[in-house]
Chain A
Amino acid sequence: MIEPMTHLTEDERQAAADGTLPADRRALVDAHLAACDECAADVARIAEFMKRTRESTASAPAGAPSLDELWSPIRARIEATKVVALDTAGPSTSTRPFLWLVAAGVAAALVLTTFALRARPRDSQTSVATQVEADSTMLRAVADSTRAYEAEAQILLDRLEIQRATMRPEAKAAIDRNLRTVDVAIAELKDAIARDPRNPALRQLLATSYRQKVELLKRANAG
């Protein structure tokens, strides 16, 4: 027998949310939900979470490929940018090695660019051409690392979006506030790099801000 103040069990709340309650329990659970705001709110939250999950699955077109199927072309595109060589095992559950590889890729690009700048000939026309090439190499390196970090952040943002339905309002507010702070910093740094692509401090600061964002999203998902 369910009484208003003993609350529904986890199983009952889940079953009430997805409509799989046994017929003989339904009336009792419904009566409890009508009398208990706390359980009713929780069931509504679970139902909303399930709805979002269904919608995110349903929004894919008919016959849409699975995540595993999607990964191969994504990996091929990342490989094409020559940022890092990823293994062929599919998306890793640990993102830390991935970020290290990205950092190593960017570092390698910086070393090559520095070498190119040092080896710059004295001839002014060649010098200008080399400088333009070096700038574009640096911008490409920045774009590559930016793309890699953004891909990582997007995966985490998608996960977070699904979790939002079950989060407490103050937790959501804190995450949004912190994300805004990091995003403003990233936007300012991108703008500054567009104006001064040869400034290594800007690239380091951008990488740091992206790392902050990815870590923040991981923390948010862990909570």
Chain B
Amino acid sequence: MKRLLILVALIARSALGQSAADGPVLRAHAFDSTGSINLYVPAGSVRLVAWTRDSIVVRGEMAKNARLFFGGGRQGVKMGVEGTSRGDSEPSSIVVYMPRGGRISVRTASANIVGEGVSGEFYSSSGNIRLSGIASSVEAESMNGSLDLDLTTPWLRARTGDGHLLVRGAPQDVDASTIGGTLDVIAPKVMRGQFVSVSGDIHWIGSPAHGSVFDFSNHSGAVDLALSASASAAFTLSSVSGPIENGFTRIRPIASPPRTLRFNLGDGDAHVSVRTFKGAIRVRPE
């Protein structure tokens, strides 16, 4: 009993350390540092913050006629916002503080998701997702929301339909795609990158890391590579019917079969492959 009281006191003290602007404490719970959280919030906003404590604290403002369901133990928790009415839910604002080494699986309908230093899976039907910080791995998906992923992580997978997808920070292994949304990549530490769209433009800015491998594929959208002066890579660009525009006048192509351009920049110690059906391919100095 004494131990329990101490634990509750510690959790409460941790919770008090959080911003009151996040709203009142809805739940506080002792939690393993590598535990898993499953969270569902239909509408409003979700903010996830990683911390170094072995506990989770949930703060926020619940929508009228909604309640927070919460179940589980130290290793795993399932929680979410449950309305007493169906249809278009009223927005709730939820803030979850969770152990840095834990994983979370978040699903929302229209609620936006913001995460700082959290790892796991993030899904929203129409809400936007913004993640930043250091994570062990991240998978982020939205049907038509925008994704802003500013992460340092060994593995990043991102998908959206016609939302904007921005990949930045220092992810190492990236698999990102859109259907019609624009895909922007400013991530110099990527070692293996696959960037795909059907009709959205893909923009990549920077210098490929030594030994990195990139694969860009687009159907009707453009692929625009803005390369820094220090870029060193072997490029293979091919389009079935789209134009290939070379902004480096000093480049001498290694081979130029129909609709294909191969050339090296610097020592060519990275590999960049671009393929489109009818979208333009542009390579230019940054």
Contacts and interface: CB of A to CB of B under 8 A. Distances in A.
Interface string B219-242: 110000000000000000010100
Contact of A178 (B65, B84, B109, B179): B179
Contact of A185 (B143, B144, B198): B198
A202 interface: yes
Interface of B: 65, 84-88, 107, 109, 123, 125-126, 141, 143-144, 159, 161-162, 177, 179-180, 196, 198-199, 217, 219-220, 238, 240, 275-278
Given A188-B277, A212-B198, A205 B217 contact: yes
B88 A168 contact: yes
Nearest to B217: A208
A212 B176 CA distance: 11
A127 to B, nearest CB: 20
B177 A177 contact: no
Q: By DSSP majority rule, is chain A's interface helix, strand, loop, or mixed?
A: helix
A159 interface: no
A192 interface: yes
Given A6-B65, A178-B179, 15 more contacts: A6-B84, A7-B65, A39-B85, A42-B87, A171-B125, A171-B126, A174-B125, A175-B143, A182-B179, A182-B198, A185-B277, A189-B277, A199-B240, A212-B198, A223-B123
A181 B143 contact: no
Residue in A182, A199, A212 with the greatest tally of chain B CB atoms within 10 Å: A212
B143 A174 contact: yes
B81 to A, nearest CB: 14
A38 interface: yes
Interface stretch (A79-87, A130-138, A213-221): A213-221
